[in-house]
Amino acid sequence: MTKGIPQRIVDEMDKEFRDSSYNMLDKVEATAYHPKAYGLTLEEWISFIEDYAKEKDRKYFFGLNNLQRPTVFWDATNKQEWDKKQKLVGNQQVKFWADQGYKRIKPRGKINRFEKIDDDKKQSTKK
């Protein structure tokens, strides 16, 4: 373990930023900077991100995540575009789970969850 960071997370981050083909970054929507995990200065990390974005022709912008860590957000150029993209992704998830027979429940102040719809209730909602 590296100063409070589990070794598996350090190994995953190391693989992500040492992989010259950028395979790990191709799969993520956002990546936060952490100096102890990456072993890079902020400037080196930003340079790495810019090189990747240029090589892969991928849109991005920098911001702060909910933990106030510098974060790169992929496939958007600003927060408004990012929020719109995430809303579309959320709507696709709701549709996917609805097709599987689930409905979204959103308790106040909680994370969205999906609950299986009974066949009897499903029939009554279709009428």
Q: Give the chain's length.
A: 127
110 or 90: whose pLDDT is higher? 90
The residues, ordered by sequence, that sit 6+ positions from 17 with a Cβ below 8 Å of its Cβ are 38, 40, 48
How confident is the model over 43-86, as pLDDT tens digits? 988 998 999 999 999 999 999 988 898 999 999 999 999 889 88
- Residue 50: per-residue pLDDT: 93
- Residue 18: per-residue pLDDT: 67
Does the global pTM surpass 0.75? no
Tokens of residue 10, six digits: 């350090």
pLDDT over threshold 90, residue 119: no
Burial 41-61 (b: 16+ CB within 10 A, else e): eeeebeebbeebbeeeeeebe
- Residue 101: per-residue pLDDT: 85
For 17, phi then psi, to 5°, come to -100, 0
How confident is the model over 2-52, as pLDDT tens digits? 567 788 877 777 776 666 567 778 888 898 888 776 678 899 889 989 999
C-alpha 103/C-alpha 39 separation (Å) is: 43
- Residue 105: per-residue pLDDT: 75
Over range 123-127, report the average pLDDT. Answer: 49
Over range 95-102, report the average pLDDT. Answer: 86
